[in-house]
Amino acid sequence: MDGEPINLQRFAELGSEGVDLLLTDSTNVEEPGFTGSESTVGETFFNYFRGSKNRFIVTTFASNIHRIQQVIDAAAAFNRKVVINGRSMESMVEVAQDLGYLKVPKNTIIDISQMKNYKPRDLVVITTGSQGEPMAALGRMANGDHAHLDVGPNDTIILSASPVPGNERLVGEVINKLIQKGCDVVYHKVANTHVSGHASREDLKLIQALVKPKFFVPVHGESRMLMHHKQLANDLGLDTKNIFILENGQELEFDKRGAKVIKETVSSENILVDGLGIGDIGSIVLGDRKRLSEDGLFIVIQKMAGSRPVGNPDVISRGFVYVKESEDLIAGAKRQVSKALDHCKSRQVSDWAELKSAIRSSVQRYLYDKTQRSPMVLPVLVGV
């Protein structure tokens, strides 16, 4: 789209000079042939926009400036105004315009608040959410909770992206919800709405043949893709002992004798961002959240005078059962607390940590026996 095709001659020159190591994207190694041109997608936008009275909502990767350019070109050709929606899309379009990578005809882009001044046939919305993310703009439209866009039969939704491996279910759910709202949904399986940004099998063969590396590391792909890419390089004459499939964090070391994977690894764990915390949420906390989301929370509060219980325990349930409608279950759980404390008394156990552990185990067994569910049981001892 920018008039700068791949410089295969330069790849060949580097191959002639000698390349020690080639690392190549493996995502589309299973796709036969060559990856098509980005410019072919623009024809799809023109064909759909032509003569339609619907409002168009197009979703794609915010980083795909060439795709956004083609949507804007088609919109301008049919005198449609363009609305940019979604935080990452708005930021990317603004920066691309400032740097001159995105050419937008004057007065083409309008603010989302101005949509009410135009008929559906006069609008194109470019939005985030191509991967089915629930909190992205398209996901909110599908769920009916977008602040400005209420979609229905007068809308044509074009998903100008294919699902990233692993996102197929999320994307499918969004498509189904949009169709249930009466939208006309166009996606890569029913129209030419997307061209991959990844090299296909013949592209990868060509690069291998031109570069002729001594060593090769297939990267960016799932295990099966990396293995297929390894086989491709081997079929083209590269010895398997010079091809390395690495796990995240593994180190590949080179010297005059060759290359080898060394024992030491570097940290490559996911860094989770939660509110203002960065990297402070570990596996234990995540495990607790998962359990709470699936089975709920059951809190037992017992007043204590030293190691002696005072009165009956109180129970709070969240996400497990509704206390007022489960009186028999709650009464049984309270009896288990008393039994656990009586058992501890007979063994002369007075340490509160041990008392709480005994209560937790007793109540957990009881609740599972009665419900076949395992909520998180949280005993609380209060000194009086």
Is the CB of residue 289 less than 8 Å from the CB of residue 367?
Answer: no
Tokens 């709405």 — which residue?
193
Residues pairing with 308 in the sheet: 305
25 is catalytic: yes
Q: What is the total residue count of the chain?
A: 384
198 is catalytic: yes
SS3 content of the chain, % helix, strand, coil (to 5): 40, 20, 35
Alpha helices in 78-128 (DSSP H): 87-98
Residues 122, 184, 198, 228: which is the catalytic one?
198
Main-chain phi, psi angles of 128, to 5 degrees: -85, 170
Is the CB of residue 175 less than 8 Å from the CB of residue 159?
Answer: yes
Residues 25, 66, 155, 229: which is the catalytic one?
25
Rounded to an integer, what distance in angstroms lies between the CA atom of residue 351 and that of residue 340?
13
Angle ∠(105,106,110) on CA atoms, nearest 5: 100
The interaxial angle of helices 223-235 and 201-211, nearest 10 deg, is: 50
Rounded to an integer, what distance in angstroms lies between the CA atom of residue 42 and that of residue 66?
10
**Contacts of residue 160, Cβ cutoff 8 Å, sequence gap at least 6:** 41, 58, 59, 60, 67, 71, 130, 193, 194
List residues with catalytic annotation. Answer: 25, 198
